[in-house]
Amino acid sequence: VITIGLDAGGSAIKGVRLEGERIAAELRRPHHGVDLIGLIVAAAAELSTPDVEAVGVGLAGLVRHPGGEFVWGPHLPLFNVETRPILEEKLALPVAVDNDANLAALAESRMGVARDRSHVLVLSFGSGIGGGLILGGRVYRGTSFAGEVGHMRLTEAGDLCACGNRGCWETLVSGSVLDRAARRILDRNATGEDLVAAADRGDAEAIAALAEAGRWLGIGVANLVAVLDPELVVVGGAAAQAGEWLLEPARMAMRENLRSDGHRPLPRVVRAGLGPIAAAIGAAILAGEEYSGDNDGDE
Amino acid sequence: VITIGLDAGGSAIKGVRLEGERIAAELRRPHHGVDLIGLIVAAAAELSTPDVEAVGVGLAGLVRHPGGEFVWGPHLPLFNVETRPILEEKLALPVAVDNDANLAALAESRMGVARDRSHVLVLSFGSGIGGGLILGGRVYRGTSFAGEVGHMRLTEAGDLCACGNRGCWETLVSGSVLDRAARRILDRNATGEDLVAAADRGDAEAIAALAEAGRWLGIGVANLVAVLDPELVVVGGAAAQAGEWLLEPARMAMRENLRSDGHRPLPRVVRAGLGPIAAAIGAAILAGEEYSGDNDGDE
């Protein structure tokens, strides 16, 4: 089956054409929050060939599946938009729409590091933490919006979150948290990547900042393991780029926070396999699963 | 289908004989942690009739399903015991074994307040917090031991938990937490029930202690709602007995802690419907579902 997958994030649309498991074409188009639907349609047209059977679209925010209503998201200029019927009309193809983190998880479970695993937690670190849950081999969405793991509250202190609360997981570890640490430790234009480079050079303060963020990564993962008992935890985005500076402290904190569980094996915590186009790949996979009759990709 | 369900908790074995959805017989036998398997067999024999087709058993602790290995639990005198083959031999009937909180959740979803709901979180408050997850209409177990929600870490402070950590949810709200508050506020023999009675009489300190425990109940529920987005949250055990003194502050804290979610409906938080025999009923239901071919009750 040949499908197109598109992922509309806060600053760019990424897209792939997927032929079976082969990425036959790929694009990336920055956007400025204007006419997002138009840009999605243009990106699909650019990737299209006559044999494309369906299009999948990932959106950063609260999306109702399978209806495709984009309810709300802080990074996209959409609010209560019925995206799926609009896109199906403009593209004249079946369209599947889902939350981007769900799609990254689907992609890792079908073509990435979580292939053939039944119960997988996939975390995508950017300005916040997106969570995708593969439970029983399928994307778990709950009533609509499961996987909003970044808003688990882990401490009573902590910085104010975009959601209005304090102590949310994503205020303690995320791409933005690493960027802020970089600005504090290095200079005001530094980013999380610079922080990792500084750690690689042996900068003790950078190493400590990554370890502290990693500790919070591990505490949040421990909570999710207690609740969901996945076989595998997959970490993507900024946290994957930070690599072992973040992941090793995270694994330690996870073990430390699941003490009673000397009685059970803990899941491995690994880096994502598909990189920044994971959600676009997942969108193409979802479109294929929903419109080719293989498997509905839903739970 | 006619089945027997037994629930072995820390101090008593409870049992039912279930004929369809009718509870045809019921028993409760205290135990002192000696010969638990023998007591379970005796309880099954007492409830049995010639037309019983299968037996279900709930155990408080980490249980592997469907194999029936009891791995560990702080309240039962068992450790790495293959309970299912032993019980099947002694009872000469098919036996299903599962964690007690999973079974309470199954019971609420089949015969209680969560009937016909797909995604339900069922919390059983005793000395700790047992969690049972009904996801997609089935008990979700993850790799083996999902639902250990009492060990989510919610704060960096807090009392030491039995697991060795600090800040676990069950150190902040549970039957034991209410008992301790009662001893502190009322007298050294007082229990959580006395605390609720004092609140009913207008005792401001008792009301405040219940509200504080309720606030923590709501914070933990908010975290689970962010992750799982259930349709319904069911609260059983000591927390149900404390009623609105606990549940109303819990609902307030849940809303307060899911602020970004003005964009989505929040689940109702309600008291359990089946009371202290919920897990025994669930055990009987599981046995029926696994051995009558209706539905495997598994995910």
To the nearest whole Å, the CA of A90 is away from the closest chain B CA by 27
The span from the CA of B40 to the CA of B290, in Å, is: 20
Q: Of A116, A151, A155, nearest to A134 (Cα)?
A: A116
A151 close contact with B: CB closer than 8 A: yes
Contact A229 B143 (CB under 8 A): yes
Q: State the pLDDT confidence band at A92, using cuts at 50, 70 and 90.
A: very high
The two tokens of residue B298 are 């598994």
The two tokens of residue B38 are 């023998």
Give chain B positions within 8 Å (CB) of A227.
Answer: 131, 133, 146-149, 152, 224, 227-228
Burial class (CB in 10 A: 0-12, 13-18, 19+), B258: buried
Question: What count of residues does chain B have?
Answer: 299
What pLDDT digit, counting tens, does each position of A16-37 carry? 999 999 999 999 999 988 899 9
Q: State the pLDDT at residue B298.
A: 46
The predicted model gives B71-94 an average pLDDT of 92
Q: State the pLDDT confidence band at A239, using cuts at 50, 70 and 90.
A: confident
B162 close contact with A: CB closer than 8 A: yes
DSSP chain A: -EEEEEEE-SSEEEEEEEETTEEEEEEEEE--SSSHHHHHHHHHHHH--TT--EEEEEESSEE-TTT-EEEE-TTSS-SSEEHHHHHHHHHSS-EEEEEHHHHHHHHHHHHSTTTT-SSEEEEEESSSEEEEEEETTEE--TTTTTT-GGG-B--SSSPBPTTS-BSBGGGTSSHHHHHHHHHHHT-TT--HHHHHHHHHTT-HHHHHHHHHHHHHHHHHHHHHHHHH--SEEEEEEHHHHHTHHHHHHHHHHHHHT-GGGGGSPPPEEEE-SSGGGHHHHHHHHHHHHHHSSS-----
To the nearest whole Å, the CA of A41 is away from the closest chain B CA by 26
Q: Judged by CB atoms within 8 Å, which residues 53-72 of B form the interface with A?
A: 62, 71-72
Contact A153 B72 (CB under 8 A): no
Contact B144 A264 (CB under 8 A): yes
Q: State the pLDDT confidence band at B260, using cuts at 50, 70 and 90.
A: low
B166 close contact with A: CB closer than 8 A: no
Provide the mean pLDDT of chain B.
93
Cα distances (Å, whole numbers) of residue B256 to A39, B216, B264, B266: 37, 12, 14, 11
Q: State the pLDDT at residue B176.
A: 93
The two tokens of residue A158 are 């902590």
Contact A148 B231 (CB under 8 A): no
What pLDDT digit, counting tens, does each position of B280-293 carry? 999 999 999 999 75
What pLDDT digit, counting tens, does each position of B84-139 carry? 999 999 999 999 999 999 999 999 999 999 999 999 999 999 989 999 999 999 99
Q: Of A282, A276, A250, nearest to A169 (Cα)?
A: A250
Contact A142 B131 (CB under 8 A): no
Contact B136 A136 (CB under 8 A): yes
Q: Judged by CB atoms within 8 Å, which residues 69-98 of A form the interface with B?
A: 71-72
For chain B, the first-to-last Cα distance in angstroms comes to 21
Handedness of CA A210, A215, A221, A225 (dihedral sign): positive
- Poorest-confidence range of A12-21, B75-84, B143-152? B75-84
Are A153 and B223 in contact, with CB atoms under 8 Å apart?
yes
The predicted model gives B164-171 an average pLDDT of 92
The predicted model gives A235-264 an average pLDDT of 88
Percent of chain A residues topping a pLDDT of 70: 97
The span from the CA of B16 to the CA of B39, in Å, is: 15
Q: State the pLDDT at residue B75.
A: 81
The two tokens of residue A138 are 């399928």
Residue A294 has pLDDT above 80, yes or no: no
The gap from C-alpha A164 to its chain's centroid, in whole angstroms, comes to 22
Handedness of CA A281, A12, A84, B262 (dihedral sign): positive
Give chain B positions within 8 Å (CB) of A142.
Answer: 119, 135, 228-230
Are B107 and B278 in contact, with CB atoms under 8 Å apart?
yes
Q: State the pLDDT at residue A223.
A: 98
- Rounded to 5°, angle at Cα A17 from A13 and A20: 140
Contact A163 B227 (CB under 8 A): no
The gap from C-alpha B89 to its chain's centroid, in whole angstroms, comes to 28
Q: State the pLDDT at residue A74.
A: 80
DSSP B210-262: HHHHHHHHHHHHHHHHHHH--SEEEEEEHHHHHTHHHHHHHHHHHHHT-GGGG
DSSP B299: -
B258 close contact with A: CB closer than 8 A: yes
Q: State the pLDDT confidence band at A260, using cuts at 50, 70 and 90.
A: low
Residue A297 has pLDDT above 50, yes or no: no
Q: State the pLDDT confidence band at A184, using cuts at 50, 70 and 90.
A: very high
The predicted model gives A238-251 an average pLDDT of 93
Nearest C-alpha in A relative to B145: A229
Give chain A positions within 8 Å (CB) of B265.
Answer: 143
Contact B146 A228 (CB under 8 A): yes
DSSP B159: P
Beta B95-99 vs B54-59: how paired, if at all?
A: parallel
Residue B95 belongs to what H/E stretch?
strand B95-99
> 3-class DSSP state for residue B68?
coil
Burial class (CB in 10 A: 0-12, 13-18, 19+), B203: middle
Write down the ipTM of this complex.
0.94
Give chain B positions within 8 Å (CB) of A119.
Answer: 142-143
Q: State the pLDDT at residue B219.
A: 97
Give chain B positions within 8 Å (CB) of A147.
Answer: 227, 229
The span from the CA of A213 to the CA of A221, in Å, is: 12
For chain A, the first-to-last Cα distance in angstroms comes to 21
Q: State the pLDDT confidence band at A293, using cuts at 50, 70 and 90.
A: low
To the nearest whole Å, the CA of A142 is away from the closest chain B CA by 5
Q: State the pLDDT at residue B261.
A: 54
Q: State the pLDDT at residue B79.
A: 86
Residues in CB range of A139: below 8 A, 6 or more apart: A98, A102, A105, A106, A132, A133, A286, A297, A298, A299
Residue A138 has pLDDT above 50, yes or no: yes
To the nearest whole Å, the CA of B56 is away from the closest chain A CA by 23
Report the residue of A260, A266, A268, A299 to disrupt the B interface, i.e. the one with the largest count of B CBs within 10 Å.
A260
The span from the CA of A138 to the CA of A297, in Å, is: 6
Beta B12-19 vs B22-30: how paired, if at all?
A: antiparallel
Report the residue of B80, B227, B261, B266 to disrupt the A interface, i.e. the one with the largest count of A CBs within 10 Å.
B227
Residue B74 has pLDDT above 90, yes or no: no
User: DSSP alpha helices (H): ranges in B78-137?
Assistant: 83-91, 100-111
Contact B229 A144 (CB under 8 A): yes
Are B93 and B53 in contact, with CB atoms under 8 Å apart?
yes
Q: Nearest Cβ partner of A153 from B145, B165, B219?
A: B219
The predicted model gives B240-260 an average pLDDT of 91
Residue B263 has pLDDT above 90, yes or no: no
Q: Judged by CB atoms within 8 Å, which residues 187-226 of B form the interface with A?
A: 219, 222-224, 226
Q: How many helices (H) and strands (E) does chain B have?
A: 9, 13
Give chain B positions within 8 Å (CB) of A226.
Answer: 148-149, 151-152
- Poorest-confidence range of A8-12, A216-220, B231-235? A8-12
The predicted model gives A133-139 an average pLDDT of 97
To the nearest whole Å, the CA of B215 is away from the closest chain A CA by 13
Q: Of B243, B237, B247, nearest to B278 (Cα)?
A: B237
Contact B224 A223 (CB under 8 A): no
Q: State the pLDDT at residue A261.
A: 54
Give chain A positions within 8 Å (CB) of B231.
Answer: 143
